Structure 1
Amino acid sequence: MRYPNLVEFEVFGDYGLFTDPIFRVGGEKCTYQVPTYEALKGILSSVYWKPTIIWYIDAVRVMHQIQTEVKGIRPIRYNDGGNELAYYTYLKNCRYQVRAHFEWNENRPELSGDRNENKHHEMAKRMICKGGRRDIFLGTRECQGYVEPCTFGAGEGFYDTLPELSFGLMYHGITYADESYSPETKDAMTARFWYPAMKQGIITFPRPEECTIHKHLRKMPMKSFGEGNFQVCGNLGR
């Protein structure tokens, strides 16, 4: 399905580390072979984000061969603040084409006055051309990334002729309270999982509500936006 507010961009960097944040509690880390839905959504949110909209990642195209590199890291220990030796497995020479669109956040009726589709679409495309509003990271902060506009499907990708490649059970993303879509996800933080398959180099993502495997993490009330919040922000800006 083609959406009127579609955006297409390329994200690339020397290294990437895409992991399940549920298990990111220290020790050694090993990347997934491809970026997760949540990581790509985070990249696009760094480019342009407003609470009025929700970004949906439609597809990602893997342009370069999947390669990994192991590095020795000295992370901080959680118990005493000292350092320990760990080995992180990164993806290297990363380049991906991404197709995405946005929809209105129906959980934010107080922001309905900001639902100007053409405005947000044009601003998002302009921010992609400028490389984003905030820094871009490929999974983790030490993996600096860059974005630029592209035509999804243009150019030659390494896996264009590969019929299909499956990756097993994989983390899809987290549903936060302000993006809930069902009674089960309302006022809660919920992790989603799925079984991705790459066909001719392209992974087509299901929508969050289409993921069949969920894990309830904890209760999370939705933050409200009201006159009091805007007044505080206004005073701080003076």
Structure 2
Amino acid sequence: MSYGIKLRVWGDYALFSRPELKVERVSYDVMTPSAARGILEAIYWKPAIRWVIDRIHVMNPIRFENIRRNEMANRVSVNKKDMEGDRPVCRYIEDDRQQRASLVLRNVEYIIEAHFEFTSDDDRNEGKHLDMFKRRAQKGQCFHRPYFGCREFPVSFEWCDEVPQSPFEDERDFGFMLHDIDFENDRTPRFFRAIMKNGIIDCAQEVVS
């Protein structure tokens, strides 16, 4: 049995990076299910449940914008020798800054339809979890500020009872899109064919590794 919710999310910018383009970041046309799950977990997460994304409603026209962002050129390398010594484990941005172009989404709004499933026999009180998520969403509470792909693109959110009409009245095929990461199977990425019909993307499709 599953227990469903609806959440309206919006923001000025979004960047759902395509994994095949690594240096210059390019966003997918719409939000990925994994990004939607991250938003829900930022609002309410418990070990007893896991969020499953059912549908994503695209409420605003899809618009892209080119921007330049400061990024780190390299990752911070940490090894046992660094941890045991007195040298601080850090990297100074002034010594490692790079400006990179990003193709981001502008003025986005989505409605996330999702449900949660129980991961164990403990804490199986569906009414409690639903009420806690709804209360937190209505009050704007979250464990950390959710974001659209990158932390500099914060998400505004609110509880949603009814899904309004989407402006899209056609069918669009966005090709293969990242669905989620299978953390129980060596962090294997899983993809699905993202097809939007009348502004709705059905995320409960067959996924491939």
The AA in structure 2 aligned to 1:200 is N
Distance in 2, matches of 1:58 and 1:14, equals 24
Distance in 2, matches of 1:49 and 1:100, equals 14
Distance in 2, matches of 1:7 and 1:206, equals 15
Conserved 8 A contact 2:48-2:122: no
Asked if 1:15 corresponds to 2:13, the answer is yes
Distance in 1, matches of 2:161 and 2:26, equals 31
Q: 1:134-145 residue pairs with structure 2 within 5 A? A: 134-145=144-155
Q: 1:1-238 residue pairs with structure 2 within 5 A? A: 5-20=3-18, 22=19, 27-78=23-74, 81-105=95-119, 109=120, 112-133=121-142, 134-154=144-164, 156-159=165-168, 161-162=169-170, 164-177=171-184, 185=185, 188-206=186-204, 210-211=206-207, 213-214=208-209
Distance in 1, matches of 2:161 and 2:196, equals 19
Conserved 8 A contact 1:167-1:197: yes
Conserved 8 A contact 2:17-2:25: yes
Conserved 8 A contact 2:34-2:179: yes
* 3-state DSSP of counterpart to 2:122: helix
The AA in structure 2 aligned to 1:127 is R
Distance in 1, matches of 2:21 and 2:49, equals 28
Count of paired positions: 190
Distance in 2, matches of 1:69 and 1:87, equals 10
Range 5-14 or range 75-84, more displaced: 75-84
Q: Which runs of 5+ in 1 are unaligned?
A: 178-184, 215-238
Distance in 2, matches of 1:8 and 1:193, equals 23
Conserved 8 A contact 2:2-2:116: no
Distance in 2, matches of 1:30 and 1:176, equals 24
Q: Which runs of 5+ in 2 are unaligned?
A: 76-90
1:3-57 Cα offsets, whole Å, 9 max, x none, are 762111100000000124x5575x3101000000100000010010111101011
Distance in 1, matches of 2:68 and 2:190, equals 30
Query: Share of identical aligned residues, percent?
Result: 34
Distance in 1, matches of 2:17 and 2:71, equals 16
Normalising by structure 1, report the TM-score: 0.74
Aligned-pair RMSD on alpha carbons?
A: 1.9
More strand by share: 2
* 3-state DSSP of counterpart to 2:129: helix
Give the Å deviation of 1:158: 2.0
Normalising by structure 2, report the TM-score: 0.84
* 3-state DSSP of counterpart to 2:97: coil
Distance in 2, matches of 1:45 and 1:197, equals 25
Distance in 1, matches of 2:96 and 2:122, equals 50
Give the Å deviation of 1:114: 1.2
2:80 match? none
